Amino acid sequence: MKIRQLTIAAAVALATLGTGLAQAQDIKNRLIRFGYGLNEVSNQGRAAKVFADEVEKASGGKMKIRAIGAAALGSDVQMQQALIGGAQEMMVGSTATLVGITKEMAIWDTPFLFNNGKEADAVLDGPVGQKVMDKLQEKGLVGLVYWENGFRNLTNNKRAVTKLEDMEGIKLRVMQNNVFIDSFKTLGANAVPLPFSELFTALETKTVDGQENPYNTILSSKFYEVQKYLTVTNHVYSPWIVLVSKKYWDGLSKDEQKVLLDAAKKSRDFERKDTRAEADKALADLRAKGMQVNELSSAEAGRMRDKLSAINTSIAANVGESLWKEVQDAVAQARTA
């Protein structure tokens, strides 16, 4: 009896401590829709769950995140518009699909910009990453953190791509973004921009022959069911970005904003670890699922790289020479750090 009473007393004390903390802060009951494009069972879905749990915990249960995956709230581009208009509160999606809104985002689409995750983290989390993110504000979006989508690799159904010439005429789905369209045109493919939410069906019905995405996504979106060949190209590193509607953000208290930002940072740290661990073993999983994996010889990888460097000038012109240089300097610094 005594022990039981003590336990109850302790539980009550703990509970009031929790809500007490949240009450001392300016936090209201809030329901936040957080949309994303991949499946619940994906690196994106797992990190969305971590974000939701962290927000709930830090707000004493007052702020609730309803994470809605599989593009049920729309494609990246549709969700961005919903955030700008204030019809949806939050989302995570590709930076590449933001280029139509904020041209500076195209800097992250530069082929072979980063050699590894460490360089990407240093630049994206550093001052220039923040600067690019802050450009979204004048367009009605608040960026909180970058997550890792990852290094992109090529899959297709037409032929094993082992040299540059093999790209010729492959109908390749790309993101709705000019740098990606130009990159794959330069390599000889027939680049077709499509939202991710339409991709599986486009592959299945052979509307397109191929696509490019990180291993994690090829796995979680089951592209191995409709794609035979995978070529390890690592042609570009894609970030994801966690966004809030600026209209919504401006109506939040400082405490509420802090809850979201802190939770976003925790989710980012979790997401990068989780994504990298999955990517490390994904290639073996994809082989086991029946995909034929081709590595490029270093000579062929070099030819692709050279070819793609032709688009750097236009990226620099589009994002501005000074931002281009700032990012190059930040990468160089990360590389020697």
**Residues contributing to the site for ligand TF8 (CB under 6 A):** 36-38, 76, 93-94, 97, 149, 175, 196, 213, 217, 238, 240
The answer to whether the CB of 271 falls within 8 A of the CB of 42 is: no
Orientation of helix 254-288 relative to helix 117-124, angle to 10°: 160
- Only one residue has tokens 């930040």, namely 330
Query: What's the min distance (Å) between Cβ of 322 and ligand TF8?
Result: 28
Residue closer to ligand TF8, measured from CB, 94 or 294? 94
Residue closer to ligand TF8, measured from CB, 196 or 248? 196
Query: What's the min distance (Å) between Cβ of 230 and ligand TF8?
Result: 15
Residue at shortest CB range from ligand TF8: 37
The answer to whether the CB of 327 falls within 8 A of the CB of 107 is: yes
What is residue 161's three-state secondary structure?
Answer: coil
Residue closer to ligand TF8, measured from CB, 22 or 286? 286
Q: Which of 135, 108, 330, 129 is nearest to 246 (CA)?
A: 135
Query: What's the min distance (Å) between Cβ of 49 and ligand TF8?
Result: 15
Q: Which two tokens stand for residue 77?
A: 């581009």
Q: Which of 132, 138, 52 is nearest to 90 (CA)?
A: 52
Residue closer to ligand TF8, measured from CB, 129 or 150? 150
Query: What's the min distance (Å) between Cβ of 277 and ligand TF8?
Result: 18
The answer to whether the CB of 48 falls within 8 A of the CB of 34 is: yes
Q: Which two tokens stand for residue 292?
A: 């034929």
Residue closer to ligand TF8, measured from CB, 60 or 111? 111
Query: What's the min distance (Å) between Cβ of 196 and ligand TF8?
Result: 3
